[in-house]
Structure 1
Amino acid sequence: MSADFYDPNKKSDDGHPWAPAAPRSGNGAQPAEPENNGAGRWDSAHVPPQAPEQPGAAPYGPASSSLPAAPAYPALPPLPPVVDGNLDPLRIPAAPQEQGDGPDRLRIGLWGAPRSGKTTYLAAMPIAAMQYQRHGQGNWLISGMTPESNTFLTDSVSQLAVRRVFPQATVGIQGMSWSFQGREEASGALRFRPRESGFVLEVQDASGEVFRADHPQHQGIVDQLARAQGLIYLFDPLGDAHELTESLTFFFATLNELSSRVRDSGGHDRGRLPHHVSVCVAKFDHPDVFRPAVEAGWVTQDSVGSQLPRVPERLGGRFFQWMCDDFRGSTARLVRDGLSTFFHPERISYYATSAIGFRLNPQHVFDYRNYANEETVNGVRRICTSPEPINVLEPLTDLERRIRAGRGGRKRWRR
C-alpha cells in the first residue's frame, strides 16, 4: 500500500495545516499527534523532526528519505547570442548615385530638340563600347550603377541589336548613372603606353519638349545642365527643317537661362559658361544628310574592316560650319553662333554621329549602292542590319578627357 504524501495546500479539520501522516503499521494503529500550544505554534518539545535537505527536493514541507525525490525539470535552452554582436559594423550611408560628388564622377548633360535622337544615342552607347575593341582603339566596359540604369542598358541592346527597333521617346526627365572602365591604345608621338581610365557618368535623358521655355519641367532640366561639367548637344539637321522641331526654338531659351543660372552662382569663366561641349551632328547615316556630305567632299572611308564612311576628326568643326551655313540655313547659323558665343570655342568639339550606323552587305562591308539602315515595315521604323554606331562613344570619352585635363585632374589616367 502506498504511503500518503504531504500536501501543503490541504488543511486539517481544525484549520491548521495538515501534517503528513506516519506510515500505517500493520495493525492500523495511528501515532499520537504532537501537542500544539494553542497559539498556532508547535510546542518546542514536540516540533516535528526535519529531514535533511535533499538535492531536487521541494522547497517546502518535510521530506522523508523513504520518499522519491521531486522530478527534475528539463534544463532551459541557452539564450541566443546577442544579435548585434554577429553583425559587421555599419558604415555611413553612401550618397545616392545621381548625387555623388567624388573625383571620379562626371555629370554630363544631354541636350537637343525633340526627335533629335537623344534616347537612341544613349541606347547605342553599350553597343558602341562592345565594338570599340574591334576597331583596334582599346576597350571600354559600361555597367549600370543602379538597377534602373542596368535595365536601360539591357533593354537598349535588345531593342537595337535583337529586335532592331528604335526605343520609345523619353517622357519627362530620366536620370541614369553608369560606370565606365576603359583602356585606350597608345597613339601620337608623345604616348607610348596604353592609358586606362575609370569614371562614373551621370546623365539626364530628357524629352526634347522639356527644353522649351514654357514646359513645366524646363527649370529642372536647366538646373541639371547648370550642375553638369560637360554637355553633349545633338544637332538634328533633318528636324531643324521643321517648325515644331526647329533647333533654335529649344536651344536659345535653355542657353539663356543656363547662362543666367551660372552667372548668379558666380560660375562664369572669363565671361562665358565653363562647360566643355561635344556637338554631334546626328543622323549622319540618313541619305538626306549623308549624300550631300559626300557630294561636298566631307566624307572619307576606312580601307579595312567594314570600310565605314566618316568625317575626319580634324574636319568636324568645319563640317558643322558647312552644315549650318550651306545645308540648313539661318536658324542653324544662330545655333552655331550661340555655341561659340556662350562657350569657349577651344572647349567645343564636333562630330558626325550615327547611333545605328550604315547598312552593310552580307559580307559586313559598306556598299554605297545600298547603305540606308532604316526602313518602315507595317508602319514601324526598323533597323535593317545590326547597328554599327559611329561617333557615339567618342564624344563622351573625349569630353571626359578634356574635363580631366581642364581641371588638372589626371589622377585616373595612368601612363
Structure 2
Amino acid sequence: MSSDYYDPNDKASGGAPAGGSPSRPAKPLPPVPPQPTGPAPAAEPQPASRLWSQTVVAPAQAAPVQPAPPRPLGPPVQDDNLAPLRIPTAPQGEDAAPDSVRIGLWGAPRAGKTTYLAALPIAAMQFQRHGQGNWVMSGMTPEAGKFLSDSVHSLASDRVFPQATLALNTMSWAFQGEEPGSGLLRRSREPAFVLDTMDAPGESYQPGHPYHERVVDQLAKSQGLIYLFDPLGDAEKDSESLAFFYSTLSELSTRVRDSGGLHRGRLPHHVSVCVAKFDDPEVFRPAVEARWVTQDSVGSQLPRVPAEQSQAYFQWLCDEFRGSTARLVRDGLANFFHPDRITYYATSAIGFRLNPQHIFDYRNYANVDTVGGQTRICTSPVPINVLEPLTDLERRIRTDRSGRRGRRR
C-alpha cells in the first residue's frame, strides 16, 4: 500500500501525488507577495537605545577590550610643587629680639644719609675681618634687596656715590648676627632683627616741606634714632644743621608728649650720633693735630677715635671746630633725650684711601678725587663705624625692653 505524500513539484494536482486520491483535501498555501524589482528601500532609522538593545555580539566575534583612556591632567603646575611661601621674617634665635626694630634716620641735606645706608651691606660683609663676629644683611622686599645690590655696585665697582634722595623711601632689611661670647661662660650670641627705616630728602626735616609730616611721624614711632651730624654742613647756608634740627626736634617732642610717650619728661628714644665725614681732610687733619685719633697696629692700620673718647671728640668739634650752631645741636640732643641713651661715633661711609698693599698711608689718605668733573671714590670702600651704631642701638633697645618686662613681673 502506497502512502500519500506531498510532492511540492506537482503543479497539476496542486501538490497531490499522481495516481492516488488523497485521504484529506490539501490545505492551500498562502499567496506569495510580489517581490519588488527596484533597489531595496533604506532601512528605517532606529533609536540608538533600541539598536543597542537589539545588538547581540557573539562571543567569538566580541571586539577586544580597549584600555580606559587616561584621566585628563590638571592645569600645569607653575611653582614646581613648592610649598607655599610665608611672609618673610627674621630668624628668631634664642637670644634674638622678638620683633622688629624701627630706626629713624635723621640729618640735614648732604649729611650723607643715603651714602650711609648704601655703605651698610659693605660694612656687614667686612665685619668679620675684625674678629668680632659676623653680620648678614638681606632685603625684606625685592625693592630693599635691589637697593643693597645697587649700592654695592655703585660704591665698590663704579666707585661713585649714590644719587641724593629726592623721594620718600621706606625699606626693611633683616640682620642675622653671630657675636662671640663674653664673661665667664663665653656663651656666643646670635641676634636677629629687622630694620625698618625711611630714607628721606634732607629738606623734608624743615617745616613746610611736603614730606615733613610723614618724616616726623616716622621718627615719633621709632625706638631708636641715627642722627648724622655733618661737621662741614655750615659751609653752605642752606645746609645748616640747626635749621633742620630744632624744628624737627621740637615737633617730635610735642607729638610724643601728646601721645603720652615721654620717658621721665624726655623723649624715650635711644640715639646714635654719627659724626660723619671722618675721612675728609678738613675734618681728619685737625682731629689728628688735636690728638683725638689713634691707629690700628694690625690689618690695614686704620685710624680711629677710641670709643671712650667719642663723646669728648663730638664736644670738641662743637666747641672748637664748628662754632655756635653746632653747640646748639649738641645742647638740643642733651636737653630732649636722656644723656645715658646717647652714644657717639666717628663715622666714615667710604673710609680712607689705602696704598696698593691695602695699608693706610698718612701721606695720601684722601679717598675722594675729581675725575672729568665727577667726584669718584679712589679705592674700594672700607666703612668705619657704619654698622656698629646700628647694632649697638638694637642691643640697647632690646636690653631696655628686657628690663621693662622684668620690672612688670
Match of 2:402 in 1: 408
Please state how far the C-alpha of 1:217 moved relative to its aligned partner.
Answer: 0.7
Q: Is the 8 A contact 1:298 1:311 kept in 2?
A: yes
Gaps of 5+ in 1: 1-26, 32-55
* Percentage of matched positions with identical amino acids: 66
Alpha-carbon separation, structure 1, partners of 2:255 and 2:145? 32
1:59 aligns with 2:49: yes
Aligned partner of 1:152: which letter? F
Q: Is the 8 A contact 2:295 2:302 kept in 1?
A: yes
1:152 aligns with 2:142: no
Please give the residue correspondences for 1:83-162 in structure 2 after superposition, counting only pairs within 5 Å. Answer: 94=87, 103-162=98-157
Please state how far the C-alpha of 1:137 moved relative to its aligned partner.
Answer: 1.4
1:175 aligns with 2:170: yes
Please give the residue correspondences for 1:16-31 in structure 2 after superposition, counting only pairs within 5 Å. Answer: 29=34
Please state how far the C-alpha of 1:79 moved relative to its aligned partner.
Answer: 6.9
Q: Deviations 1:338-373 (Å, cap 9, x if unpaired)? A: 101110100000000000000011111111111000
Aligned partner of 2:395: which letter? R
Alpha carbons of 1:409 and 1:144: their partners in 2 closer, same or farther (altered >3 Å)? farther
Q: Secondary structure at the match of 2:355?
A: coil
Q: Deviations 1:141-162 (Å, cap 9, x if unpaired)? A: 1111100010000011101111
Q: Select the structure of larger CA radius of gyration.
A: 2
1:220 aligns with 2:234: no
Alpha-carbon separation, structure 1, partners of 2:84 and 2:363? 63
Match of 1:368 in 2: 362
Match of 1:199 in 2: 193
Q: Is the 8 A contact 1:112 1:208 kept in 2?
A: yes
Aligned partner of 2:112: which letter? G
RMSD over aligned CA atoms reads 3.3
Alpha-carbon separation, structure 1, partners of 2:207 and 2:184? 47
Which of 373, 381, 389 lines up with 2:375 in the alignment?
381
Which of 149, 160, 165 lines up with 1:165 in the alignment?
160
Q: Secondary structure at the match of 1:108?
A: strand
Q: Is the 8 A contact 2:354 2:365 kept in 1?
A: yes
Please state how far the C-alpha of 1:76 moved relative to its aligned partner.
Answer: 8.0
1:338 aligns with 2:332: yes
* Deviant stretches of 4+, over 3 Å: 27-31, 60-69, 72-83, 87-91, 93-97
Alpha-carbon separation, structure 2, partners of 1:59 and 1:381? 90
Aligned partner of 2:229: which letter? F
Alpha-carbon separation, structure 2, partners of 1:148 and 1:279? 27
Alpha-carbon separation, structure 1, partners of 2:404 and 2:150? 34
Gaps of 5+ in 2: 1-31, 37-45, 91-96
Match of 2:342 in 1: 348
Alpha-carbon separation, structure 2, partners of 1:78 and 1:227? 58
Alpha-carbon separation, structure 2, partners of 1:74 and 1:193? 68
Alpha carbons of 1:217 and 1:63: their partners in 2 closer, same or farther (altered >3 Å)? same
Please give the residue correspondences for 1:269-348 in structure 2 after superposition, counting only pairs within 5 Å. Answer: 269-348=263-342
Alpha-carbon separation, structure 1, partners of 2:209 and 2:385? 31
Aligned partner of 1:120: which letter? T
Please state how far the C-alpha of 1:276 moved relative to its aligned partner.
Answer: 0.3
TM-score for both structures, normalised by structure 2? 0.79
Please state how far the C-alpha of 1:379 moved relative to its aligned partner.
Answer: 1.0
Alpha carbons of 1:271 and 1:362: their partners in 2 closer, same or farther (altered >3 Å)? same
Q: Deviations 1:35-76 (Å, cap 9, x if unpaired)? A: xxxxxxxxxxxxxxxxxxxxx98324794769999xx99988
Q: Secondary structure at the match of 1:196?
A: coil
Aligned partner of 1:121: which letter? Y
Aligned partner of 2:204: which letter? V
Alpha carbons of 1:190 and 1:283: their partners in 2 closer, same or farther (altered >3 Å)? farther
Aligned partner of 2:116: which letter? Y
Q: Secondary structure at the match of 1:195?
A: coil
Alpha-carbon separation, structure 2, partners of 1:335 and 1:179? 32
TM-score for both structures, normalised by structure 1? 0.78
Please give the residue correspondences for 1:184-195 in structure 2 after superposition, counting only pairs within 5 Å. Answer: 184-187=179-182, 189=183, 192-195=186-189
Q: Secondary structure at the match of 1:408?
A: helix
Alpha-carbon separation, structure 1, partners of 2:186 and 2:362? 37
